[in-house]
Amino acid sequence: MIPAGTAFSLLILALAALAAGLVARRVRLWKSGSEARLVSAVGRTISAVSADKLIAGLKALPRRYLVDVHHVVGRDPYAARMHALAAGGLLGGSLLALAGLIPVLGMSRLFWAVVALAFAAALAGGFMVGRRRLPEKPARLSGGRFQRLPLYLAAYTGGGLLVALAGVLPPLAPQALLASFGWLGLALAAGGGIGLVLQIDRGPMRHAFAGAAHLVLHPRPGRFEGERATALAALDLDAPRLGAATPADFPVNRLIGFDACIQCGRCETACPAFAAGQPLNPKRLIQDLAAAIEPNATNAAYAGSPYPNARPVAGVGGPALPLVGAGAMIHPDTLWSCTTCRACVEECPMMIEHVDAIVDLRRYQTLELGALPLKAAPPLMELRYADETAGRPLAARTDFAAGLTLPLISARPAEKGPAEVLLWLGEGAYELRYGRTLRALVTLLLKAGVDFAVLGPEERDCGDLARRLGDEATFQRLARANIATLARYSFTRILTADPHALHALRNEYRAFGGEYEVVHHTAFLDELAASGRLTLGALGQARVTYHDPCYLGRYNGEIDAPRRLLDRLGLERLEMERSGKRSMCCGGGGGAPVSDIEGERRIPDIRMGQATATGAAIVAVACPQCSAMLEGVTGERPEVADIAELVLMAVEAAKLPAAQVLA
Amino acid sequence: MKIVVLLSAGRHRVSGQPAPVPVELQALRLAVELGGEVTVLHAGPELGALADALGHGVGRLIHRVIADGDDPLPSLMAALTDNPPDLILAGRSGQGGEDAGLLPYSLARALGRPILADAAGLSAGPEAGTLAVEQALPRGARRRVVLRLPAIVTVHPAAPAPLPFAFAAMRRGVIESAPGISAPQAVEVEERPYRPRPKLIAKAAAGASAAERLKAATQAAGGGGTLLVDPSPEEAARAILAHLAALGLRRDG
Amino acid sequence: MTRQRRDPRAEERQQLVAGTLRRRLDRTQRAAVAAPVIAAAPVTVTEAAPRLRVIAEPAYLVAVVPDAPGGRLTPHDRQVIGAARLLADAGGGAVLALVETPSDEFGAAGIDRVLALPVAGYDPEGKAEAVAAVLDGLSLRHALFPDSADGGDLARRVAALSGEALFAGAENLSPKAVTRAARARKAEQRRAPPRLIALAADAVAPHAGTRHEAAMLAFTFPPRAPGAVLAAEFIPADPARVSLAEAEFVVSAGNGISDFDAFRALATALNATPGASRMVCDAGLMPRAAQVGASGTVLTANCYFALGIAGAPQHLQGITGCEHVVAVNTDLHAAMIERAGLAIVADAQQVMPALLRLLAGEDA
């Protein structure tokens, strides 16, 4: 037994006790939140407070951590290795060293060799942490306490290594030297260890235990079961307070989620609003939410990138104080900048649900305060009294199809049985540009002999805009009305070209009793082509790049069918710098176009820049919002075409002898 | 100050669904921002969507229930004389009845109060018991009028947009319903479905002569416009000013 | 001068652009078919001096109460006089104008008699009492008002004072019947013309053809007690500050404009409200509130003058309500050029100084 070794083990014990005290302090703060709740894949909310749910969460923890978290962290292999070494080495080494109190082990040189190995690994991890931040810290990483982390890590793990080496080396080195080695190591480890433990309360080490607790009590457990789990939670409109005004209005497990943030800044590099210079930074938002749970909280400790063009706020808060407002932590413009694209959620290694938090805060602003951006109120008013965002006649939704056969489902003879597909037209049908897309789609359905029908004047707005703007009351009214309409007709599937409508109908209506098989037009056209119901010609050698709509790719995981379909057209397909589930938003979702929060650039301009960079002549889109936003980009740029339009060109090309439709 | 805002049984301009009349919600905002005790008042068979007014910044709605087709004036009079307000606000023209905008005037006459039309803004007057009204005139002109209270003021669509709707506030609002006074009205007019007519004449410039009116009419009928390709800047400028003058937009042109 | 009859089909055939997949029309070809109007000599209408018609012994009186700000009749006033003539001429009646300030244009506008109302300053209730007194004292068969801001207000005051039925917002008028929209424009009401009628704008053609004597009448008005209006101050519309939605004349800058000081000077010189395209607002060259279009402000202006704006669909949605459009753009195929009543294919940046010079010359 070496004296420094024993002292080291005791130090770890003391540090663990200190850590436990600090954790307990934080847990007490969490308790200011409301009852923990889980959200099912379809947006139903259930209580999370039950022993079996907790046990299930605990049992699932290792898998959630090693598989799901690692899957996200592993996108940056350097970070993954760094984390494995630092965290694994630190925890492993410390736990082993604690076991050194057992006399048999404490006397064993082999034991100390293993400890030394663990701390060597941790030291290497700490070195990687330092190398990432020094000499120059990347913008997305936070400074302040975070910048001291590599120092503490090096001191603690280096100290541990020295102590362990003092236990390994006795026969090889003079006793006195080793003893001074050991005590030096102990002193280092004590300094570093105290620094690290204090960072549990405020600093990077908080994510270690809050992250574990967050994974156990994650509000959307479905995400670990392979579900997309992206439907917003249905709000009980009879609840005493609608939405979240204060930290205490968030369920406990959501507060834990905010504390799990390690400020890695992956969200801010993915956020389209951040890129456009709008006052939103998802990382800062989560930090403001996490900071506000302390009494007399301020936002002063934050040392990462700010909200771009931040609007001034007082930056003060508390568990029962308002979160949003110029006199609070978060400026309303921050909330309304979000496009709800979920890119931050997709990138977050701690699986934090930023969009859920934003929508909860918006719900309070909209439903309780009526504090909406100037131009967001009129569309909601029109929705209330005309079931349509611009107050246009519902019967005018089919005007785009003038001259085409568009069978109404209400006029369908009963003997024909259920329609193969019900075509949901969506808001885009009123727009001139998207009308062209829908005409192409309807023409394709007619050519393929698909037995389809539309609701015509009975189709109301799906409620997507209202819901994202926090107007849950209007969303639920529209959802119930649409479900009642759909219940009167018989069809096998719903087909839509609007991913926002698809998401609402497929996932969000379920909480209100509407269960439908909903298919996006890209998947449906792909089916038609695969089964030979549509004969496609080749479109020549044009280069095309596909822009994934957030509500199709990220929200619903559908990224393959559109690409398969494009490949069938014989086009040269190029991928943008960001694509698939990690694609970048066009700026059209979440009511962002009506909220119209001023930034420095426009999101569609940035996205179009990425498309242009591929050298493609065509940006293929699959969503009315994307089509409108990208068409709004001026100057030299690739042409914007919906996949349905390209497919129609290919079908028409199949009939021409050797025509090359696209030059 | 006690303020009552009158609500009429509106319908959405396109869908025809029951809906508050936007200008009345604008009146409500003016009342709320002027401050004081604000209530809204409606006389009609049912409230329907009018309860939504409670989501636009007011906590109390008084409903006098009368039969369909009854004259609301006696019921409104009764409700307003119970607890007379300092200021009564109404939309420029209500909906649901003849939509002629006559009711506020009849009410003013019956209550013996002065009436002022087309307010776009309200503020406290220079002395107690007075009100400063910013009156909207066509094309953005204004008239600032100081009015002695109590009074009735109708509100113009140029007033600020309604306060956004807050669902929870609507839920919290109080509705006081009581029977109104039965007052059947004689129907003098024949009614049939609305048929839009083309506007009869092309707009001629202010103070236009017959020749100018003829020119305006023929230009509009001609459809397609005039095109100048690559004129000199001076030529273009002269053409533009001549055109603007023909439209009556140049006083000295 | 004889005008060639237009043949739209022939014009379109000429405009078809060959060799493209999508049907495209080249509107420049329009010039080849229809001669440009601007180049032609101004339309000359020989206006023979209208015949004077004297109604010496009217069977009854039909009154009009025009807005006539400063004694000048507005187009709406002239329409109301036209309507009054319809009602008067159906039975040998005469048209009587009740005005604050009589002027010499009344005779040509179709007015037989004129009565000056004793009104000082802004006193709508006093004016209404005076009109009601005449209504009673001269046993007017009808009194017609323009259903404008002030005229409509006056009509309703007179109706409330006299207890007479008012037919407001009349959209169609004949000696037998008047009609108007009701129930949120879902229904149309129709009845025989009552005593008080407020006429909507652009519903009846103004009077033309004959001149009338516009003889002054005398009337003893009852004394007027002080009203509730303590002070009134007229604030003319400042085109620079009026909201875009209310503005009558908007001059708007797009991508083709680089000198915004000149643009603002031009807006001031033209007495127009400045607007801008989305791109200009995005670039911060003009405030966001100046943005015209579906995502900005939807205009109700009478005239829209677009400088260097190509006319994106969302922008055009914002000006659907504008009756007159003037466009200057370098691109012949721009949608705005297509939309404009006067379209000039030129560099707007060059045209602006020329306009400013010309306007400065006018002022000098």
Domain boundaries, chain B: 2-179, 197-253
Of A593, A634, A661, the CB nearest to C295: A593
User: Contact B167/A471, CB-based, under 8 Å?
Assistant: yes
Q: Are residues C205 and C320 in the same domain?
A: no
Query: Residue C13's pLDDT is what?
Result: 61
Chain C residues close to B26, C-beta within 8 Å: none
Site of tokens 């015509």? A456
What's the sign of the alpha-carbon dihedral C73, C74, C76, C82? positive
Q: C163 and C18, same structural domain? A: no
Query: What's the average model confidence in pLDDT over C42-47?
Result: 46
Are the beta carbons of C314 and A632 separated by less than 8 Å? yes
Lowest mean pLDDT among A227-236, B62-71, C85-94, C182-191: C182-191
**Please, which residues 30-89 of chain B have a Cβ atom closer than 8 Å to chain C?**
none
Q: Is B217 an interface residue toward C (CB < 8 Å)?
A: no
Q: Which of A420-429, C70-79, C279-288 has the lowest mean pLDDT?
A: C279-288
Residue C313 in domain: yes
What is the number of CB-based contacts under 8 A between chain A and chain B? 63
Say whether both C301 and C274 belong to one domain: yes
Residue C42 has pLDDT above 50, yes or no: no
- Give the domain-ending residue among C216, C250, C271: C216
Q: Which chains lie within 8 Å of chain B at 3 or more CB pairs, if any? A: A, C
- CATH of residue C252: 3.40.50.1220
Lowest mean pLDDT among A153-167, A527-541, C1-15: C1-15
Residues of the domain holding C79: 52-216
Per-residue pLDDT band for C56 (boundaries 50, 70, 90) equals: confident
Picking from B109, B118, B142, the nearest residue to C160 by CB comes out as: B109
Q: Mean pLDDT, chain B, as a whole number?
A: 85
Q: What is the pLDDT of residue C15?
A: 59
C353 domain-assigned: yes
Nearest to A370 among B13, B19, B55 (CB): B55
On whether both C25 and C63 belong to a single domain, the answer is no
Q: What is the pLDDT of residue B252?
A: 46
Q: How far is B77 from chain C (nearest CA, A)?
A: 15
Interface contacts (A, C; CB < 8 Å)? 15
In the CATH hierarchy, which top-level class contains the domain B2-179? alpha beta
pLDDT digits (tens, 9 = 90+) for B16-64: 899 999 999 999 999 999 998 999 999 999 998 999 999 999 999 999 9
Q: How far apart are alpha carbons C78 and C152 in whole angstroms?
A: 15
Nearest to A367 among B12, B49, B168 (CB): B168
Share of chain C above pLDDT 90, in %: 39
pLDDT at C37 over 60: no
pLDDT grade, residue C14 (50/70/90)?
Answer: low
**What's the whole-number mean pLDDT along residues A464-477?**
97
Residues C141 and C63 grouped into a single domain: yes
So what's the pLDDT on residue A179?
80
Interface pTM (ipTM) of the complex? 0.88
Kindly list the residues from chain B whose CB atom is less than 8 angstroms away from the CB atom of residue C124: 116-117
List Cβ neighbours of C27 (8 Å cut-off, separation of 6 or more): B227, C15, C332, C333, C337, C338
CATH of the domain at C200: 3.40.50.620
Spell out which residues of chain C touch residue B44, defining contact as CB-CB under 8 Å. Answer: none
Rounded to whole angstroms, how far apart are CA atoms A539 and A611? 20
User: C323 and C209 share a domain?
Assistant: no
Residue C76 lies in a domain: yes
Per mean pLDDT, which range of A261-265, A523-527, B57-61, B243-247 is the poorest?
A: B243-247
Of the candidates C245, C244, C284, which has an alpha carbon nearest to the alpha carbon of residue C267? C244
Task: Using CA coordinates, name the residue in chain B closest to C348.
Answer: B233
Whether B203 sits inside 8 A of C75 (CB atoms) is yes
Residue B184 is predicted with a pLDDT of: 86
Same domain, C136 and C70: yes
The verdict on B101 touching C (C-beta cutoff 8 Å) is yes
All structural domains of chain A: 3-216 (no CATH), 235-369 (1.10.1060), 387-529 (3.40.50), 531-655 (3.40.50)
Residues C271 and C353 in one domain: yes
Residue C2, domain member (yes or no): no
Judge whether residue C46 has pLDDT over 60: no
Same domain, C165 and C274: no
**Neighbouring-strand partners of residue A45:** A39
Q: How far is C263 from chain A (nearest CA, A)?
A: 22
pLDDT in tens, A573-614: 999 999 999 999 999 999 999 998 988 899 999 999 999 999
Q: C201 and C328: one domain?
A: no
- A44-78: pLDDT as tens digits: 888 877 888 888 889 999 999 989 999 999 999 99
Q: What token pair was written down for A609?
A: 């820049």
Give the model's pLDDT for residue C345. Answer: 93
Q: Which residues of B146-165 are buried (b: 16+ CB within 10 A; e: fewer)?
A: bbbbbbbbbbbbbbeebbbb
Would C47 be classed as within a structural domain? no
**Residue A659: predicted pLDDT:** 46
**Neighboring chains of C (3 or more beta-carbon pairs < 8 A):** A, B
Interface of B with C in 177-196 (CB under 8 A): 188-195
Q: Angle CA(A532)–CA(A537)–CA(A538) in degrees, nearest 5?
A: 130
Our measurement of the distance from residue A630's CA atom to the centroid of its chain's CA atoms, rounded to an integer in Å, reads: 22
Sign of the alpha-carbon dihedral angle for C165, C168, C174, C176 = negative
**Partner residue opposite C279 with nearest CB, options A593, A598, A634:** A634
Q: Does residue C8 or residue C181 have the better pLDDT?
A: C181
pLDDT-derived band at C40, boundaries 50, 70, 90 = very low
pLDDT at A228 > cutoff 70: yes
Summarize pLDDT for B53-108 with one digit per residue, the tens. 999 999 999 999 999 888 999 999 999 997 899 999 999 876 655 567 889 999 99
Name every chain B residue with its beta carbon within 8 A of the beta carbon of C240: none
- At residue C32, does pLDDT exceed 50? no
The mean pLDDT value for A531-551 works out to: 92
pLDDT higher at A525 or B94 = A525
Instruction: Give every CB contact of residue B177 below 8 A, 6+ residues apart in sequence.
Output: B47, B63, B65
Residue A384 clears pLDDT 90, i.e. is over it: yes
Pairwise CB contact (< 8 Å): A385 & B17: yes
Q: Are residues C27 and C59 in the same domain?
A: no
Chains near A with 3+ CB pairs less than 8 A apart are B, C
- Answer whether residue C91 is part of any domain: yes
Give A109-139 pLDDT, tens digit per residue.
888 899 999 999 999 999 999 999 988 899 9
Q: How do residues A252-299 score in pLDDT, each as one tens digit?
A: 999 999 999 999 999 999 999 999 999 999 999 999 999 999 999 999
Q: Is the dihedral of CA A168, A173, A179, A185 positive or negative?
A: negative
Q: Do the beta carbons of residue C63 and residue C99 sit within 8 Å?
A: no
User: Best mutation site among C314, C320, C331 for testing chain A: the one with the most A CBs within 10 Å?
Assistant: C314
Asked if B207 reaches chain C (Cβ–Cβ under 8 Å), the answer is yes
Query: What value does the mean pLDDT take over residues A288-311?
Result: 93
Q: Is residue C160 part of a domain?
A: yes
Q: How far is CA C138 from CA A254, A310, B82, C115, C220, in A?
A: 80, 71, 40, 11, 11
C230 within a domain of the structure (yes/no)? no
pLDDT of amino acid A160: 92
**Helix spans in A100-169 (H):** 103-106, 109-133, 145-168
Of the candidates B12, B55, B164, the beta carbon closest to that of A386 is on B12
Instruction: Tell me whether strands C187-191 and C178-182 are parallel, antiparallel or unpaired.
Output: antiparallel
Residues of chain C contacting B116 with CB distance shorter than 8 Å = 124, 229
Q: Are residues C151 and C268 in the same domain?
A: no
* pLDDT tens digits, C316-357: 888 987 888 999 999 888 889 888 989 999 999 999 999 999
pLDDT exceeds cutoff 50 at C31: no
Distance CA B98, CA B106 (A): 13
- Please report residues of A whose CB lies closer than 8 A to that of B12: 385-386, 391
Per-residue pLDDT at A656: 65
Report the domain count for chain C: 3
Chain A positions contacting chain C at CB under 8 Å are 375, 432-433, 593, 596, 598, 602, 632, 634, 661
